[in-house]
Structures are given as structure tokens and as C-alpha cells.
Structure 1
């Protein structure tokens, strides 16, 4: 398995920071391949030695996911598990459930560790995590502590500064949008006559006073205006709505249903069976809207969601990014046939965007990530060393001052410069017919392709003697990213062979024998171009079936 270029950079910076500071935090949002990167960091830190590492997670499924991905990134390192069913430290790298390991009897069995990795590291300030961290450092004061999270700043004000002294790297949402691993947000700030009142709501220790927000937002005329604007800008999209209180969410859900829009409600105090049933109805498309109160900011993802409605302000920018992030995932057409997703509409009826700045502007969609060591600055509040580009300290929450957006600025429109994946890819992509409508890249174990049909791109991946599969459809960048990731998953650094000299040699006689006559007269044809053409030729029928079938599904879905 290979890493994307940006993932490699994240790993290099993290390993460097661990060597310099003995601890470090990496910030990486959904879509960045967080598990792959933490696996690569752990593998580089302990590989080729007798060192031992432990990877912490707070949920059973994360422990299993982390171990599986780690094995693909580091196939030569042994692993073991400490959870409710097994308690083994035999592997060089052990994957542990925090609730299990934090118990005194299990902590007593903790061996001397050289590296402790904390997934979802925003939990590291919790008492259970601190008990594990303190015991690891007690057993080995030289144990390095590495954490990865998408959302470091928490509403409970329990910063991560006691655990981490620095931030090694931060992958920004804008980078993932430009590289095709997330869809772009289109933000609309809409005042339905409440912004002035919301601007006067006081902040509590954790957030804004949501009771006061409820008094402003939970009124029939406001909710009616919200639904009207939603119908105009996103009425056909699957939508997640964030409310201030349970009473507010109940009223909004009832209003959507009364207006003929199937909506379900999810709150923290609902019985688990009811909550699962509501989410299942939304996932199955039986409900177009899911309304919640601070439940779906983390740990939930339904990629077809392409609209986020904010009916509450958030004092933390990270909370706003969590909410908006629920709508930025790309769609796997094999899992969701007929769904075409090219962006996410964000309808902000509160003050979050005005307070924190447009999400698009903040993530700097036009910026470009440089190579080498990341420029840093020191946080004036906690003294931590953090990447220069951050506006909010990931360790203590300190916010650097920023200019307010101009009155009437069109927050929903921006220019996005995409990363040139053809240049950054570890594989050589061939334009098969010179019209930029069919691109193919070959490895030894897999191939990827992107194809254009009737205004839409399709990403396809295949392996020898296996039926190709549809990876993505929609925007060119998203399809290229999916096809390139398919190759990264099935190839290694040795098999990528992008710069091998033999690629530029003339085609072999065997290749020419299988190519159409027109290509045999192309004396500039290279061996690699011939292999890409043959890949397309041998898989042409399957590719056409996938592309035309997906196009028909998409048209059917649009008609529905």
C-alpha cells in the first residue's frame, strides 16, 4: 500500500516532531486517510527495531479498523489486541480499547512502551486517557506520545496542552477539496430577522447559551422561513439540520413533516433503538432530512448528505467545521448507485460563519501546501508550537484575530484551484486519445482510469482477471482522486514505476500484435502508453457497461 504525497508529508513532519519534542499532535480531517497516516508514523518509529508501540481508540470498531489498516501499511510488523475479549501484548504493536486498558488491573499489565499513539486524540484530556498516558510515561519516561484528530478544540475547555507541546502538521479541509477527496462547500448566510438578537446571546463556559438561542430561533415564523429557503436552495438534497435544544429540534422536525418533507429526529437522550431506527430511515432515503442536537457532529457519516443547515451559532470554529464536515464526504457509487454529488450546500441561519469567517475562505482553497518543513508560530496563550496557517490553536483554543468579512460579501462564491493530481500522482497517467476524455494509469497489480461522458466524469479501477469496479462519478478531480487512491491501495513504491526508464522504450512486438493497426504506425508510442491502451482495449466492454450503467442510474435518480 502507498501513501498520497500529502500523506507522506504529514508522516515526515510527524516523525520529525516526535524526534524533536518527544510528543506531537497531528490534525487531519475526514477524507485525509488519518488511519493510514498514523499507521505509517508508528511503522517508521518502531520498524526494524525491538521497540513496542500501542495504538489507543475509544470504540471497538475503531480498534478493528486501525489494526486492519496498520497491517496493510506495515505487513511485516506483528500486532495484538487489548479489548473486552482479548488482552495480549505479544505483538510489536498492540491495539487497545481505552475503556478496557484504563482499568487498574489491565494497566498493571502495561509493558514498557516506546510509542503511544492516540487516535481521536481530542479525547486525550479525559481522565481514562490520562491514566494510560501517565502509566506509559511512568514505565518509560522516554515513551513518545503521538495523537491524531480532526477536531482538537473541545467545547469543555479541556485543552490538549498538558499532553502535547506542539502540532506537527495540520491538513486543512481546503487541501482535501482541491485534491478531490472532499466536495466543496457552498455557504449561504441567511438572515431571517434574528442575527441581531443572536449577536447579543452570551457565551457560557462551553458554548453560547442555547436556552437563549432557543428563545430566538424556536418560533414558527423563523422555522417557516428556514424551510422556504431550504426548498429554494437545497430542496432535493439529503440534509442534516443542527438545532439549539431538544425542544427546538422537535419543533423543526414537526414543521418539515407538516410541510410534506419526510424528516426524522435524533437526540442524545433518545433510546438507542429509536436513534438507530431514525438514522436507518435517513440512510435508506425514507427521510430526506435528519434533525439533531449536538449528536451528529462526530462519529456519523452518510456520504449522500449534500446539505447542512445551521440553526444555532457555535462559539468554537472547530464545532462549526464538524457540523459542515458532515456534508463534505465524496460518494462511492458502488455503495450508493445513482447518487451524484458535486458539492455541499451550507445554509447558515445563525452567526457562525459571520463570527468565524467563511469556511471556504478560512481553509484557503486557493492556497498551496509547500514541501519540506512546515513554517510554525508560537501560541501566545499556551506557548505551543503550531503550523503558521492555523487561526485557532489546536491545543488550547486561542484564536488569532482576523478581519471581519465585508458587509454583503458573497460567501457562497469562490474560485477553487485544484491540485494537479496528474503531476503529484505516484503513477504515470496516459491521455489515451489526446482529447483528455480517457485517462489510464497502470501498476503491476492494478490499473485506474477516468472517463468523460455527457458532462460527467467516471472513475474506474481494476485488477488482472477481475471485473473492474466503478469508483466515483461527478467532478474530474474527485474521480481522479478515487482512481489514484485505488492504485495506491493495491501497489507499492516499487511497483508504481512512474520514473522507470523502460517506460519510455518502444513497444514490444507482443504489445504491437494486440494493438489496432493505427497504433502500430505511431512511431512515438512508448511501451507504457501501449500498456495503457491495451488495458483499455481488454477492459473496454466492462468500462462501457459501468459508465453507461452509472449514467442511467444517475438520470433515474435525478428524475426521482
Structure 2
């Protein structure tokens, strides 16, 4: 498996910070490949040593996911699992469940560790995590700590500064949107006569007073205006709505039903069966809108969501990013046939995007993605070292105020230049016919291509024993990202080097046998270009079948 260029940079920066500080935190939002990068850091750090590593997670599925992806990135490193089902420290890297390991009897069995990796590191303030960290440091005062999270700022206001002194790297949503790994948000800030009142709501250490918010937003005339604006901007979109209270959520869902839009509600007071039923109705399409109260902020993803409605403010920018992030996932066309998604409408009826600055403004401050150390600054509240581009300290929550008028300008439409992922790819991409409508790359075991038809780009991937799969439909950047990720997942660095070494070597006579006669006179044709053309010819029917079937499904939908 090969890491994306941005993932490699993240790994390099985290390793450098670990060496300098003995601890570091990496921040990466949904879509960045957090588990892959975690595995890259741990694998690189212990490479060629006898060092012992433990990777902590707080859910069974995360432990299993981390162990599985670690083996993909580091196939030669032995692993073991310590959880309720089995307790083994045999591997050089052990994946442990926090709830199991933190028990006193289990902590007593923990061996001396050299590196402790903490997934979802915003949980480190919890007593169970602190018990593990303290025991590991007691056994080894030179222990190194590495944490990774998408949501560093905790709802209870407790900072991560007691554990981490610095942030090695922070991947922004803007970077992932630029590279085609997330769809762009289009943000509309709508004042339904409540902005002034909302701006005066009290804010505690945790968040805004949601009872005050409810008193402002939970009124029939306001709710009817919200639904009317939604019908104008996003009437056919799969929508998730964030409300202040349960009563507010129920009233909003009823308002949608009044205009024949089926809606369901989820909140913390529902039973597990009730919540699963509501989520299932939304997932299967029985409901178009799902309204929630502080339940779907993290740990839930439904990629077809392409509209987010904010009916509550957020004191933390990270919470705002979490809420909007529910709508930024790209679509797997094989999992969701007929679903097309190129952006996400964000309707903010509160003050969050005005307060924090629209996500669209969170561009890279240094203007490029360098390969060296991240430029840093010092947080004035906690003295942590954080990336220069950070607008909110990941360790204590300090917010840097924007100072120029241009930075305060509200954006209602979103336009961002596309990163040329082809140039950053580990593979050489070949323009098959010289008209930029069919691009292809190959490795030893896999191939991928992006093809333009009827105003859309279709990404298709295949390989030895892999079958042929439709990977993406929509914008060019989304297709290239999906195709490149397919190759990264199924190939290794040796295959990537193959595409480099073949660049200057001429096509062979054996290859020409499989190509049309016209190519006999193409004296500039290389072995690699010929390999791509031959792969396309051998797989042309399967590629066309997948694309034409997708077009039919779209038309039927």
C-alpha cells in the first residue's frame, strides 16, 4: 500500500515532532485517511528496531480497523490485540481497547512500551486514558506519545495540553477538497430575524446555552421560514439538521412533514432500537431529512448526505467542522448506484459560520504544500507549538481573530482551484488518446483510469484478481482522487517506481503486437504508455460496461 503525498508529509512531520518533543498531536479530518497515517507513523518509527508499540482505541471496531490497516501499511511488522476477546502482547505492535487495558489487573500485565499511540486523542483527558499513560510512563520515563484526532477541542472544555505540548501537523478540509477527497461545501448564511438575538446568547465553558437558543429558534414562524428556505436551496437533497433541544427537533421534523417531506428524529433520549430504526429509515431513503440533537456530530457517516442545516450556533469551530463534515463525504457509486454528488449545501440559520469564518476561507496560509517542516506559531494561552495555518489551538481551544476586512467577508458560494493530483501521484498517468478524455495508470497488480462522458468523469479500477469496479462519478478531481487511491491501496512503492523507470524506455516489439497498426509509426511511444494502452484495450469492454450501466442507473433515478 502507498500513502498519498499529503499523508507522507503528515507522517514525516509527526516523526520529526516526536523526535524533538517526545510527544506530538496530529490533526486530520474525516477523509484524510487518519488510520493510514497513524500506521505510517508507528511503522516508520519502529522500523529496524526492537521497539514496542501500543495503539489505543476506545471502540472494538476501531481496534479491528486500526489493526487491519496497520498490516496493509506495514506487512512485515508482527501485531497482536489486547481486548475483551483476547489479551496478547506478543506483537511488536499491540492494538488495545482502552476500557479493557485500563483495568488495574490488566495494567499490571502491560510490558514496557517505547511508543504509545492514541487514536481519537481528544479522549486523553478521561481517567481511563490517563491511567494507561501514567502506567506506561512509570515503566518507561522515556516513553514517546503520539496522538491523532479529527476533533481536538472537547465539548467539556478540557484541553489536551497536559498530555501534548505541540501539534505536528493539521490537515485542513480545504486541502482535502482541493485534492478531490471531499466535495466542496456551498455555504448560505440565512438570517430569519434571529441573528441579533443569537449573538447575545450566553456561552459557558462548554458551549452556548441551548435553552436560550431554543427560546429564539423554536418558534413556528421561524421553523416555517427555515423549511421554505430549504425548499428553495436544497429541496431534493438528502439533509441532516442540527437542532438545540429535543422539542425543537420534533417541531422541525413536523414542519418538514407538513410539506410532505418525510423526516425522522434522533436524540440521546431514544432507545437503541428507536435510534437504529430512525437511522435505517434515512439510510434506505424512506426519510429524506434526519433531524438530530447532538447525536450525529461525530461517529456517523452517510455519504449521500448533500445538505447540512444548522439551527444552532457552536462555540467551537471544530464542532462546526464536524457538523458540516457530515455532508462532505464522496460517493462510492457501487455502494450507492444512481446517486450523484458534486457538492454539499450548508444552510446556516445561526451565527456559527459568521463567528468562525466560513470553512471556504480556511485556505492554506503558506499558499502551497511544502514537503518540509510545518511553519509554526505559539499559542498565547497555553504556549503550545501549533501549525501556522491553525485558526484554533487544537490543545486548548484558543481562537486567533481575523484582522482584515477581506477575511471577514461572508462567502455564499464556494469556488476553489483544483490541485493537480496527477502531478502529485505516485504513478505516471498516461493521456491515452491525447485529448484529455481518457487517463490511465498501471502498476504490477492493479490499474485505474478516469474517462469523460456526457459531461461527467467516471473513475474505474481493476487488476489481477480484483475484478473491475466503478470508483467515482462526477467532477474530474473526485475521479482522479478515487482512481489514484485505488492504485495506492492495491500497489506498493516498487510498482510506483516501475511507472517512473519506464518513462524514457521505448516501446518493445512484443508490446506493439497488441496495439493497432497506427502505433508502429509512433516513435515517441514509451513502454509505460504502451502498457497503459494495452491494459485499456484488454479491459475496454469491462470499463464500458461499468460506465454505461452507471449512466442508465442515473437516468432511471
Q: Normalization by structure 1: what TM-score?
A: 0.97
> What is the CA–CA distance in structure 1 between the aligned matches of 2:342 and 2:481, rounded to whole Å?
14
The superposition leaves residues 433-486 of structure 1 with CA deviations (integer Å, 9 ceiling, x where unpaired) of 111000000101100100000000011101035431001110100110010011
User: How big is each residue's C-alpha offset from its partner over 1:202-223, in whole Å with a ceiling of 9 and x where there is no partner?
Assistant: 1122111100000000001101
Residue pairs, 1:218-257, within 5 angstroms:
218-257=218-257
Number of corresponding residues: 557
Give 1:84's aligned residue.
84
Q: How does 1:405-484 map to 2 (within 5 A)?
A: 409=409, 411-464=411-464, 466-484=466-484
Classify 1:147/1:90 alpha carbon distance in 2 versus 1 (closer, same or farther; 3 Å). Answer: same
2: distance between equivalents of 1:216 and 1:425?
Answer: 50
TM-superposition CA deviations, 1:417-443 (whole Å, max 9, x none): 111111100100000011100000010
Residue correspondence of structure 1 range 26-425 to structure 2 within 5 A: 26-364=26-364, 367-403=367-403, 409=409, 411-425=411-425
The worse-fitting range, judged by mean Cα deviation, of 70-79 and 496-505 is: 496-505
**CA RMSD in angstroms, aligned pairs only:** 1.5
The corresponding residue for 1:521 is 521
CA-to-aligned-CA distance 1:310-361 (integer Å, 9 cap, x gap):
0000011111011000000001011101111100000000000111111100
SS in 1 for 2:105: helix
What SS does the aligned partner of 2:502 have? helix
Q: Which moved more, 1:215-224 or 1:494-503?
A: 494-503
Q: Which moved more, 1:315-324 or 1:495-504?
A: 495-504
Shift of 1:499: 6.0
| Unaligned ranges ≥5, structure 1 | none
Q: Given that residues 313 and 352 in structure 1 are in contact (C-alpha distance below 8 angstroms), is that contact kept between their aligned partners in structure 2?
A: yes
8 Å Cα contact 2:440/2:448 also seen in 1: yes
Write the distance in 1 (CA, Å) between the matches of 2:443 and 2:256.
50
Distance 1:142 1:70 in 2: 24
Report SS of the residue matched to 1:503: coil
364-373 or 168-177, which deviates more = 364-373
1:82 positional shift: 1.0
Post-superposition offset of 1:415: 3.0
User: In 2, Cα distance between the equivalents of 1:406 and 1:423?
Assistant: 32
1:78-129 deviations in whole A, cap 9, x for unaligned? 1111111111111111101111111111111111000000000011111111
Q: In 2, distance between residues paired with 1:210 and 1:328?
A: 26
- CA distance in 2 between counterparts of 1:389 and 1:458 reads 34
In the TM superposition, what are the counterparts of 1:497-508 in structure 2 within 5 Å? 497=497, 500-508=500-508
**Paired residue secondary structure (1:436):** coil
Q: For the residues of structure 1 that align with 2:97 and 2:496, how far apart are their CA atoms? A: 36
In structure 1, distance between residues paired with 2:431 and 2:58: 46
- Deviation for aligned residue 1:487: 0.4
Distance 1:496 1:16 in 2: 25
Report whether the alignment pairs 1:551 with 2:546: no
Shift of 1:410: 5.2
8 A Cα contact 2:364 2:389, kept in partner? no
Distance 1:466 1:58 in 2: 33
Q: CA deviation at 1:505?
A: 1.7
Distance 1:149 1:393, change over 3 A: same
Tell me, what secondary structure is at the counterpart of 1:504?
coil
CA contact (8 A) 2:305 2:326 kept: yes
Contact 1:189 1:348 in 2 (8 A): yes
Paired residues of 1:175 and 1:365 also in contact (CA < 8 A): no
Query: Distance between the aligned counterparts of 1:453 and 1:122, measured in 2?
Result: 44
Q: Is the 8 A contact 1:428 1:498 kept in 2?
A: no
* CA deviation after TM superposition for structure 1 residue 154, in Å: 1.2
CA distance in 1, matches of 2:15, 2:494: 22
- Aligned-pair CA distance for 1:517: 1.2
Partners of 2:403 and 2:226 lie apart in 1 by 28
The one-character-per-residue Cα deviations of 1:211-252 (angstroms, maximum 9, x if unpaired) are: 000000000110101001111111111000000011111111
Superposed displacement of residue 498, structure 1: 5.6
Q: What SS does the aligned partner of 1:265 have? A: strand
Separation in 2 of the partners of 1:357 and 1:396? 19
In the alignment, is the contact (CA less than 8 A) between 1:164 and 1:395 conserved in 2?
Answer: yes
Whole-Å separation in 2 of the counterparts to 1:386 and 1:417: 26
Question: What TM-score, normalized by structure 2, do the two folds share?
Answer: 0.98
Q: Measure the CA separation in 1 of the matches of 2:273 and 2:415.
A: 44
- Following superposition, the deviation at residue 411 of structure 1 comes to 1.3
Distance of 1:113 and 1:311 partners within structure 2:
46
Evaluate the alpha carbon distance shift between residue 406 and residue 174 of structure 1 in structure 2; reply closer, same or farther with a 3 A threshold.
Answer: closer
